[in-house]
Structure 1
């Protein structure tokens, strides 16, 4: 049995090929896309400590799980 030369490696073998939804850290643009917001709004959420982020060198990354926490808190506010 031959594998095709262009077959992607299995995601459980190499985290670089993980599905986008399973990424631990997101760029501001990725976080904005997931929340259907603009970059400025995401930076405002960071400044207000409503979503968590880390600085790696000059890059700002959003902790993906904090997006779920943010939405859950907003849903709790509505209830």
Structure 2
């Protein structure tokens, strides 16, 4: 089974940004995430949607 949820660190690697910036995007509502207990995870689909939005804004 493919991974469906990523940590903030993994999202940062994918987007080539810092972990702190990932949390800023989450708290600003620009990047969807879920909480599992005390852990915050980002669905792979949310990362893909974020990228689509950024490309759309750049166009």
Normalized per residue, the structure richer in helix is 2
TM over 0.5: yes
Q: Which structure 1 residue ranges, 5 or more long, are not aligned?
A: 1-14, 16-21
Question: CA deviation digits over 1:12-63, x for unaligned, max 9?
Answer: xxx3xxxxxx311001111111111111000000011111111101111011
Q: Which structure 2 residue ranges, 5 or more long, are not aligned?
A: none
1:67 equivalent to 2:47? Answer yes
Report the aligned-residue RMSD: 0.9
Larger radius of gyration: 1
Give the TM-score, by structure 1 length: 0.70
Give the TM-score, by structure 2 length: 0.91
Instruction: Give the count of matched residue pairs.
Output: 59
User: Which structure would you say has the larger RCO, counting Cα contacts within 8 Å and 6 or more residues apart?
Assistant: 2
Runs of 4+ in 1 over 2 A off after TM superposition: none
Match of 1:25 in 2: 5
Distance in 1 (CA, whole Å) between partners of 2:26 and 2:44 is 13
